[in-house]
């Protein structure tokens, strides 16, 4: 990302936490806009035909007509999703700028000057809320077209000047805004200009296709899918339709002839378990961005015969995986694991790009996301109840008042000149639920709410049992009031491995949950992915088998990227097996620190009638000298933010001689029979098959994105008191985790 970033006009405080413009090191120094291609010359010549009078907008005042109060509930709901959730500064500043700023003589010069965000303007001109002064405003449409044309003319020069701008996801963002603007304002252009505009879009589409996907910031690559969907509403001939669909399938599945269930994530981006890979591996928070753009694409092409063959299933699988990574806490929050995440440590419950309309769109598209509406059986029905009309109208009225406060000026805009043009690959997110609303959604959701339907609950909130294998990567189970997630990803793909790496995996317990105690055991990344370093291995909040050599170098099962995995959860008892080597390049701090190829670990996860049994074992030739060997479980104390009922009080106890006592911090205690974690009104017990030496680590706080209080529970498998001894030929521990 370039150092020169600027905040530009925003839809609202929540709508875009920071709409920024990535300013390259280069600005146009030419005396006029580029004309290297024939389509560029046509577009620039068209800009020369505009006069100030073409851009005059006389009215900027939003109103709420009296007759609107009688509108159908479905129509009110469609508008409420937008207007009822507005924050501040929601309309583009370019609507309020001097009309002269959009004439060619004010754009051309030593520095090309033009506003950003053409699609934002275009959105407001098609939003037919009866009190919208910009609806069908031709001056507003022309402003949007001018901005889009300037972007199209300038982008290639910016790519040539700075290769960092030559990325598929960057082009997708620009191309998507041009396509949206054309769809809603292009009819104002003469036919030959329309043709040139379309040629420009096709030119950059071809460039985007050659680069996509990059699988680096894969979440941003999903903007490519939304852009392809938008283009399919413009280029409607059958040949182009097939091209756009095949490209979308290639980006997602690695091959245009593959399906969601047969996707090749090494070549594409979609994993059949239900996520978009980052560096080929699983991801949590960034998958919110991926899901946002894929939901947008699915809304755009809903019921399209070529897209319907795969887009609904992609969204449903991703929404389902998110749902089963969403664990309810007793205080009403949701949380979930992130230890196996390749890049972020915030869980699915706190993922990114969760604009207010995204959850409504998800629920419109798939049953898997109905819980995202926030309606609980037995709770206040709110807008879905008998007072829904009044509540929605009150929110819409407040939204109209906020709209009339006017926008914030983008940086670089004064009364005398607009900002200098800059490549903008993070355009504002548009409320696509309004554009592509699914009819009768309000009625559908209201009926579920009135019926107190359990379909409105997240999976771990429901009464039903489940036992699910997510494509041989994750095991999610719920039995009564307890459940868990086991991570056993057989192919983690590429790692960052720069001062460390994200994804603390290798076959582990990612979460153990009870209804009364919440997620007492929960895996996290401790820090930003490339700061998860070996020197802090004793504070890795994940379930792993680890140790240090006589020289102090570390090794861990959590760094194993390709373990052997077997899921056997359909038989009795349900089990998952994991086995892998220790000593390879990723599992040790330095290659060669332990005897590579001859040190292994294996783990067995077995569902019992009342809990989860875990057996963890180390096998070696006994030749390496080590001074530490531990089995560690991560204890989730709670978030650092203060909760509604205060901070979570967690009491950790050891059972010695059949008596419970408070666990000391930092002290190795022998003959511990069990560990109990009291949390909220419940508890989770870890009972050992044989008494163990156990040490409770110091509490600490994770340092990236989501700051959580964590503590590690360490089981000593060596008993050397810090002295260097030969690695045991076999060391094992077996324990059962139960909820009470």
651 lies in some domain: no
Residue 605 lies in a domain: yes
Please give the model's pTM, rounded to 2 decimal places.
0.93
Identify the pLDDT of residue 417: 81
Rounded CA-CA distance 66/43 in Å is 43
Question: Residue 303 corresponds to which tokens in the numbers above?
Answer: 């019921």
Evaluate the CA torsion angle 698, 484, 567, 523 in order and state its sign: negative
Same domain? 485 vs 634: yes
Residues β-bridged to residue 686: 675, 737
**Domain-embedded: residue 725:** yes
Q: Which of 352, 375, 409 is the last residue of a domain?
A: 352
Residue 316 within a domain = yes
The domain total for the chain is 2
pLDDT category at 24 given cuts 50, 70, 90 is: very low
Least confident of 130-139, 365-374, 525-534, 540-549: 525-534
User: 622 to each of 285, 451, 618, 619, how far by Cα in Å?
Assistant: 41, 64, 11, 8
Residue 533: the pLDDT is 87
Q: Rounded to an integer, what distance in angstroms lies between the CA atom of residue 592 and that of residue 179?
A: 55
Contacts 24+ apart (CB under 8 A), 587-590: 587/506, 587/555, 587/556, 587/557, 587/559, 587/560, 588/553, 588/554, 588/555, 588/559, 589/534, 589/553, 589/554, 589/555, 590/553
Are 574 and 712 found together in one domain? yes
pLDDT in tens, 222-250: 999 999 999 999 999 999 999 999 999 99
CA 612 to chain centre: 29
Region 332-354: mean pLDDT is: 94
pLDDT over 80 (residue 208): yes
Question: DSSP 3-state assignment of 515?
Answer: coil
Question: Which band of pLDDT confidence, cut at 50, 70 and 90, is reported for residue 404?
Answer: very high
Instruction: Map tokens 């490549």 to a residue.
Output: 423
Mean pLDDT of 240-262: 97
> 334 and 470 share a domain?
no
Q: Return the HEC string of 41-77.
A: HHHHHHHCCCCHHHHCCCCCCCCCCHHHHHCCHHHHH
pLDDT digits (tens, 9 = 90+) for 632-686: 999 999 988 644 445 568 999 999 999 999 999 999 999 999 999 999 999 999 9
Structural domain boundaries enclosing 729: 465-640+665-670+688-739
At residue 28, the pLDDT reads: 38
**Of 230, 207, 343, 363, which is closest to residue 291 (Cα–Cα)?**
363
Which of residues 331, 352, 373 is at a domain's end? 352
Query: Could you please report the per-residue DSSP string of 128-154?
Result: --TT-TTTT-HHHHHHHHHHHHHHHHH
Could you give the angle at the alpha carbon of 22 between the alpha carbons of 21 and 27, nearest 5°?
100
Is the pLDDT at 693 greater than 60? The verdict is yes
Which residue in this structure is represented by tokens 């199209």? 152
β-pair partners for 708: 639
According to the model, what pLDDT value does residue 5 have? 34
Rounded CA separation 442/444 (Å):
5
Element (H, E) at 444: helix 441-450
- The answer on 342 and 472 residing in a single domain is no
Please indicate, yes or no, if residue 60 is contained in any of the structural domains: no
Q: Is 62 a domain residue?
A: no
* Angle formed at CA 12 by CA 11 and CA 17, multiple of 5 degrees: 100
Look at the block and give the residue holding tokens 């049953």.
Answer: 367
Residue 471 maps to which CATH number? Answer: 2.70.98
- pLDDT tens sequence across 51-103: 999 999 999 999 999 999 999 999 999 999 999 988 756 788 899 999 999 99
Burial category of 303 from C-beta neighbours within 10 Å (exposed 0-12, middle 13-18, buried 19 and up): exposed
CB 724 within 8 A of CB 626: yes
Confidence of residue 532 (pLDDT cuts 50, 70, 90): confident
Which pLDDT score is estimated for 244?
98
Domain final residue pick, 314, 333, 352: 352
Predicted pLDDT at 501:
65
Range with the largest mean pLDDT of 26-30, 594-598, 628-632: 628-632
Rounded Cα–Cα distance for residues 302 and 308 (Å): 7
Return d(Cα 669, Cα 663) in angstroms, integer. Answer: 9
Q: What are 88-101's pLDDT values in tens digits?
A: 567 888 999 999 99
Alpha helices in 616-667 (DSSP H): none
| Ramachandran sector of residue 538 (left: φ over 0; alpha: ψ -120 to 50; beta: rest) | alpha
**For residue 338, is it within any domain?**
yes
pLDDT over 50 (residue 691): yes
Separation of alpha carbons 629 and 544, rounded Å: 11
144-153, 498-507, 588-597 — most confident range: 144-153
The SS3 assignment for 337 reads coil
Same domain? 344 vs 474: no
Three-class DSSP labels, 270-286: EECCCEECECCECCCCH
pLDDT of 16 reads 28
Q: 636 and 489 in one domain? A: yes
Same domain, 590 and 723: yes
Measured in degrees and rounded to the nearest 5, phi and psi for residue 616 equal -120, 130
**pLDDT value of residue 704:** 83
CA distances, 438 to each of 123, 286, 364, 445, 726 (Å): 18, 26, 6, 12, 66
**Whether the predicted pLDDT of 410 surpasses 90:** no
Residue 495 pLDDT > 70, yes or no? no
Q: How many CA atoms lie less than 13 Å away from 114 in the CB half-sphere?
A: 32
DSSP 312: H
Q: What is the mean pLDDT of the chain?
A: 91
Same domain assignment for residues 343 and 482: no
In a domain, 325, yes or no: yes
The predicted-structure confidence for 544-600, as pLDDT tens digits, reads as follows 999 999 999 999 999 998 999 999 999 999 999 999 999 887 889 888 889 867 899
pLDDT-based confidence at residue 115 (cuts at 50, 70, 90): very high
């Amino acid at each position: 990302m370039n150092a020169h970033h600027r905040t530009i006009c925003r839809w609202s405080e929540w709508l875009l936490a920071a709409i920024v413009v990535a300013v390259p090191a280069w600005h146009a120094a030419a005396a006029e806009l580029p004309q290297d291609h024939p389509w560029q010359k046509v577009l620039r010549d068209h800009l020369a035909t505009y006069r100030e009078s073409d851009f005059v907008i006389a009215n900027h005042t939003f109103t709420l007509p009296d007759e609107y109060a009688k509108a159908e509930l479905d129509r009110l709901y469609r508008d409420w999703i937008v207007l009822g959730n507005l924050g501040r500064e929601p309309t583009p500043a370019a609507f309020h700028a001097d009309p002269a700023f959009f004439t060619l003589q004010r754009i051309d010069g030593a520095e090309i000057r033009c506003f950003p965000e053409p699609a934002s303007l275009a959105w407001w001109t098609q939003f037919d809320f009866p009190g919208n002064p910009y609806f069908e405003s031709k001056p507003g449409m022309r402003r949007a077209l001018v901005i889009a044309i300037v972007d199209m003319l300038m982008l290639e020069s910016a790519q040539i000047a700075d290769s960092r701008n030559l990325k598929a996801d960057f082009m997708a963002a620009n191309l998507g805004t041009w396509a949206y603007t054309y769809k809603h304002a292009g009819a104002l252009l003469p036919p030959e200009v329309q043709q040139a505009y379309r040629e420009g879009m096709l030119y950059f589409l071809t460039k985007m296709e050659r680069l996509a996907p990059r699988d680096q910031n894969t979440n941003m690559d999903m903007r490519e899918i939304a852009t392809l969907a938008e283009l399919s509403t413009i280029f409607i001939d059958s040949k182009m339709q097939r091209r756009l669909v095949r490209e979308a399938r290639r980006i997602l599945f690695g091959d245009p002839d593959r399906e969601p269930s047969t996707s090749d994530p090494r070549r594409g981006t979609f994993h059949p378990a239900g996520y978009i890979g980052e560096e080929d591996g699983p991801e949590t928070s960034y998958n919110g961005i991926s899901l946002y753009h894929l939901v947008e694409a699915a809304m755009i092409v809903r019921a399209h015969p070529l897209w319907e063959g795969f887009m609904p299933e992609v969204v449903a699988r991703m929404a389902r995986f998110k749902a089963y990574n969403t664990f309810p806490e007793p205080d009403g929050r949701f949380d979930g694991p992130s230890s196996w995440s390749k890049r972020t440590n915030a869980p699915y419950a706190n993922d990114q790009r969760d604009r207010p309309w995204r959850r409504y769109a998800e629920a419109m598209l798939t049953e898997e996301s109905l819980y995202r509406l926030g309606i609980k059986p037995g709770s206040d029905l709110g807008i879905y109840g008998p007072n829904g009309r009044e509540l929605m109208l009150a929110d819409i009225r407040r939204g109209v008042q906020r709209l009339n406060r006017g926008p914030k000026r983008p940086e670089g805009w004064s009364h005398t000149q607009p900002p200098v043009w800059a490549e903008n690959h993070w355009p504002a997110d548009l409320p696509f639920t309004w554009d592509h609303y699914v009819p009768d959604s309000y009625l559908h959701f209201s009926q579920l709410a009135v019926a107190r339907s359990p379909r409105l609950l997240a999976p771990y909130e429901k009464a039903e049992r489940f036992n699910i294998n997510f494509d041989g990567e994750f095991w999610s189970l719920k039995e009564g009031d307890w459940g868990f997630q086991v991570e056993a990803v057989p192919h983690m793909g590429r790692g960052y491995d720069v001062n460390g790496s994200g994804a603390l995996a290798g076959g582990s317990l990612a979460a153990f949950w009870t209804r009364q105690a919440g997620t007492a055991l929960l895996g996290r990344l401790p820090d930003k992915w490339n700061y998860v370093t070996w020197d802090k291995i004793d504070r890795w909040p994940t379930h792993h088998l680890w140790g240090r050599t006589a020289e102090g170098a570390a090794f861990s099962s959590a760094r194993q990227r390709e373990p052997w995995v077997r899921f056997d959860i359909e038989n009795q008892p349900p089990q998952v097996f994991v086995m892998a080597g220790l000593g390879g390049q990723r599992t040790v701090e330095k290659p060669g620190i332990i005897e590579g190829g001859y040190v292994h670990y294996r783990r067995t996860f077995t569902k019992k009638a009342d809990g989860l049994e875990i057996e963890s074992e180390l096998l070696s030739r006994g030749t390496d000298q080590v001074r530490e060997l531990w089995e560690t479980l991560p204890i989730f104390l709670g978030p650092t933010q203060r909760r509604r009922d205060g901070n979570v009080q967690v009491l950790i106890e050891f059972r010695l001689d059949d008596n419970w006592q408070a666990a000391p911090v930092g002290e190795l205690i022998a003959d511990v029979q069990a560990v109990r974690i009291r949390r909220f009104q419940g508890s989770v017990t870890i009972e050992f098959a044989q008494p163990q030496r156990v040490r409770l680590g110091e509490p600490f706080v994770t340092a990236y994105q989501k700051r959580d209080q964590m503590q590690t529970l360490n089981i000593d498998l060596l008993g050397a008191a810090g002295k260097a001894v030969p690695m045991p030929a076999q060391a094992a521990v077996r324990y059962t985790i139960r909820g009470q």
